Amino acid sequence: MNRFIVGVLLFTSVSLSQKAFANIENPPMSVYSSVEVDPFITYEEVKERINQVAKQLAFDYKSEEIVLVMVMKGALCLAVDLIRAISFPCTIEYMQTSSYGMKGEYRGGLEIKGVEALNLESKNVLLVDDIFDSGNTLSQVYQALAKKNPKSLKSLVLVSRNIPRDIDYRPDYVLFNIEEEDGFIVGCGFDYKEHYRGLKDVYLLKDLQAISDF
């Protein structure tokens, strides 16, 4: 076959594929579940708050270099957008915690992995996590990072749930507050059994039985 024709066919195929996927850049919840729900927090709202917080961080740190330590996997989406919005020197590290079982239920004991590999001594550290719920995870991670002798240590979360807590610790920066009666949230890093994490918007699931059983 003529090389020119092959090239045209390949270009046309790629163009059609890009066009086909252009409309599902931010797929609705119905793509993943038979339940139709509306976004609880839109991606546009998330980006607006991230930009606001990035400016506040520049002021608070006086544009000194900081190290973002994101808690995998929930803080992944937030950390990526945040580091893009920060206008002063910033590096990124990661660690991992686990306290939820495969079926979404609270498992209890907290596992913290990856802290031992971090070099944070004399550095400005910003701990980034997805949610401040009971507060146990963030407070324990904070204590673990504090042992690495950073110059300063603060924390930032995408969502904080307004509930009574047994601990005094609170994050330094909160993008959104939700109420105690609000249900399980997915999207923008939040997952249910490792699914829905990639949705740009944050969705509220009040009935976990109504979504697909993975």
Residue for token pair 């709202």: 45
Neighbouring residues of 72: CB distance < 8 A, sequence distance ≥ 6: 94, 95, 96, 97, 114
Give the whole-angstrom CA distance, residue 48 versus residue 100: 30
The pair of three-digit structure tokens given for residue 48, joined into one six-digit string: 């607006």
Q: Is 31 helix (H, G, I), strand (E, B) or coil?
A: helix
What residue type is 159 in one-letter code?
A: V
CA trace torsion 77, 50, 140, 143 (10° rounding): 120
Residue 190 DSSP one-character state: B
**Rounded CA separation 157/123 (Å):** 20
Write down the catalytic residue from 129, 133, 191, 201: 133
Residue 202 near residue 50, CB atoms below 8 Å: no
Dihedral over alpha carbons 117, 122, 126, 132 (to 10 degrees): 70
| Token couple for 147 | 């042992």
Question: Is 133 designated active site?
Answer: yes
Report, as residue numbers or ranges, the catalytic residues.
Answer: 133
